[in-house]
Amino acid sequence: MKVIIVGGGWAGVAAALSARRQGAAVTLIERMDMLLGTGLVGGIMRNNGRYTAAEEMIAMSGGEVFQLIDDNTLHRDIEFPGHLHASLYNVGTMEAVMKRYLLKRGVDIHLSTRITDVEMKGETMEAVIAKKGTEAIRYRGDVFIDTTGTAASPANCNKYGNGCAMCVLRCHSFGSRVSVAAKAGVTEMVARKGAQIGAMSGSCKLLKSSLAGDIRDMLNQTGVAVVPVPKAGIQTGKLAKKACQQYALAAYEENVVLLDTGHAKLMTTHYPLDRLRDIPGLENARYEDPYTGGMGNSIRFIGMAPRDDALKVEGVNNLFCAGEKAGLLVGHTEAICTGTLAGYNAVMYSKGESPLVLSTDLAVGDAIQYVRSQMQTEAGLGYKYTFSGSVYFDRMRQRNLYSIDTREIAERVKKAGLRGIFG
């Protein structure tokens, strides 16, 4: 059986490994020259309920991506405003580590390869058509997974955001994102809240060497630096546009919160450079690509696929989705979880077996089903959902799904009859 995955971010690589574990031949297609997508600049793992979700996946034998990340972690068990027991992986080395592992596991990777079209027979997808340079390539498969994300093109970032930030998605170099689901004729969903379409990506990067020595030392030693903003420089209101609503807290307006992910990760959507340099210790601050953050940033959640709780896309018999393509679940952990399930169910489809729907007694299963139901409502399309904060973390705690006790989490997975299911 042949599984074709389009999109090499965290969802795509997790789907590839999951499908390989089930014995499928897997081709992973990515339009850029590197994997991981926004994972090239993210770096935050295991904060708040993401710890629970990661441990659920490990107990279900779907945790090899999390274990690779843990092995590439710079700081563990750190705290920053609103977040406990977080870890920060090294964004500078993670992509190469992940690529080598995928190749070792037998995943066929095609980089700098951009989808241009799909071939359909009725409601069944037969192939995707791509270009690599001037070469046209046809990839035939038995089942397909769309993990192309929801961010880009620059026109959307200009129209709905503060302008193109020349971000890590590098549309100008590799062409804008292409949605497999949309090419297959699926009418996609768009996040909106009032006049705001989509949401801004969550952070900017600063050169460590441009920061004051005491701030650099604090970042290197503890992983976190919280720098107060003078009262006259506090910017209010912009955090409402963030995709990562778990950071839409007053502490992120009243302070500059920096995390050490190899870069100095500035936890806000954008910050004009002249204002940033008014803050003590940041007088020489300079943005570092990717995600130059002074006035622009990418707009996300434009183009989500309607899907069921097994992550099959509605209207196409053999197309699954994961990551942001599967809806308003925000973050790396969330992408890895949905990618793992999509990869597994793609193989179940090829085998003619029933797809897996995860129990709502688990945080991962509950989140997938809850977000799908909320996206059927106008109000629900205005929220962003994540294991680490905001609307869904509140739900996790209300339903007693949040835990950092690995034995308790493993027992919960066992009671749901899902221990080792992805193995």
Evaluate whether residue 89 is within a structural domain.
yes
Evaluate whether residue 32 is within a structural domain.
yes
Residue keyed to tokens 């995943």: 107
DSSP class per residue in 239-286: GGGBS-GGG-STHHHHEEEEEESSSEEE-SS---HHHHTTSTT-TT--
Spatial CB neighbours of 277, under 8 Å, sequence gap ≥ 6:
283, 284, 285
Evaluate whether residue 262 is within a structural domain.
no
Let me know the angle formed at the C-alpha of 412 by 409 and 418, rounded to the nearest 5 degrees. Answer: 110
Q: What is the pLDDT of residue 232?
A: 80
Name which of 204, 7, 17 is nearest 104 in CA terms: 17
Question: Residues of the chain whose pLDDT is less than 50?
Answer: none
Q: What is the pLDDT of residue 289?
A: 63
Give the total number of structural domains in the chain: 1
Q: What is the pLDDT of residue 272?
A: 85
pTM of the full structure: 0.95
DSSP state of 237: S
Buried-exposed string 260-287: b where 16+ CB fall within 10 A, e elsewhere: bbbbbbbbbbbbeeebbeebebbeebbb
| Domain span including residue 126 | 2-154+175-194+299-415
Q: What is the pLDDT of residue 238?
A: 63
Q: What is the pLDDT of residues 386-400, one digit of tens each?
A: 999 989 999 999 999
Evaluate whether residue 106 is within a structural domain.
yes
Which CATH number does the domain housing residue 394 bear? Answer: 3.50.50.60
Residue keyed to tokens 């990717």: 290
How far apart CA 101 and CA 98 sit, in angstroms, is 5
Evaluate whether residue 257 is within a structural domain.
no
Evaluate whether residue 23 is within a structural domain.
yes
Q: What is the pLDDT of residue 242?
A: 67
Evaluate whether residue 99 is within a structural domain.
yes
Terminal-to-terminal C-alpha distance of the chain: 18
How far apart CA 148 and CA 321 sit, in angstroms, is 9
How far apart CA 403 and CA 422 sit, in angstroms, is 21
**Cβ neighbour number for residue 174 with a 10 Å cutoff:** 16
How far apart CA 14 and CA 115 sit, in angstroms, is 20
> Which token pair is 422?
């992805």
Pairing of strands 108-110, 25-29: parallel
61 prior amide bond cis, ω within 30: no
- Beta strand spans in 160-254 (E): 189-190, 192-193, 196-197, 199-200, 204-206, 224-228
Evaluate whether residue 404 is within a structural domain.
yes
Q: Which helix (H) or strand (E) holds 154?
A: helix 154-160
Q: What is the pLDDT of residues 87-130, one digit of tens each?
A: 999 999 999 999 999 999 999 999 999 999 999 999 999 999 99
How far apart CA 94 and CA 70 sit, in angstroms, is 10
Q: What is the pLDDT of residue 410?
A: 98
Q: What is the pLDDT of residue 187?
A: 96
Spatial CB neighbours of 151, under 8 Å, sequence gap ≥ 6:
38, 169, 177, 201, 298, 299, 300, 302, 324
